[in-house]
């Protein structure tokens, strides 16, 4: 079991919770985009697409990911800026660079560890 994975803690999920056990990443994981040059820290997970149709339709049709997979909210950054990103599971890869994420909101929610992971501050845990 991943130590940061709130979905595999052994706690029963409410009956109306979609199946989220196929999430490959957990809150606090550092990931990078498979196509575009950015990386970030996951701060929330949707078990399936939960953004607007307008957002989805703005993606070029040949790059639109299936909606029936986990989508991740990231504190993201590239060489030019920091921002929030919403990314499908198929477009994320683990980032093993060990480089810290300098997004300004990371410190508000997370504490960095020596191993390069990010742990939620205690006040943000369920």
Kindly report, residue by residue over 44-95, the tens digit of the pLDDT. Answer: 999 999 999 999 999 999 999 999 999 999 999 999 999 999 999 999 999 9
Q: Rounded distance, CA 28 to CA 18, Å?
A: 21
Residues 39, 76 contacting (CB under 8 angstroms): yes
pTM recorded for the entire structure:
0.81
Residues 72, 42 contacting (CB under 8 angstroms): yes
Kindly report, residue by residue over 17-53, the tens digit of the pLDDT. Answer: 455 568 999 999 999 999 999 999 999 999 999 999 9
- Indicate the DSSP class of residue 15: T
Q: Which residue ranges form the domains of the chain, and what is each CATH number? A: 6-17+26-124 (2.30.30.390)
Q: What is the structure's pLDDT at 125?
A: 54
Q: Rounded distance, CA 85 to CA 76, Å?
A: 6
Q: Is beta strand 30-33 parallel, antiparallel or unpaired with respect to 71-77? A: unpaired
pLDDT top residue among 96 and 82: 82
């Amino acid at each position: 079991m991943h130590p940061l994975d709130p979905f595999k803690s052994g706690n029963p999920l409410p009956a109306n919770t979609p199946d989220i056990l196929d999430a490959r990443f957990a809150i606090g994981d550092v990931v990078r985009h498979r196509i575009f040059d950015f990386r970030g820290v996951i701060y929330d997970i949707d078990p399936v697409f939960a953004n607007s149709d307008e957002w989805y339709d703005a993606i070029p049709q040949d790059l639109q990911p299936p909606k029936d997979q986990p989508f991740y909210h990231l504190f993201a950054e590239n060489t030019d800026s920091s921002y929030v990103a919403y990314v499908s599971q198929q477009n994320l890869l683990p980032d093993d660079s060990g480089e810290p994420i300098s997004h300004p909101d990371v410190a508000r929610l997370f504490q960095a560890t020596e191993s390069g992971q990010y742990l939620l501050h205690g006040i943000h845990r369920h």
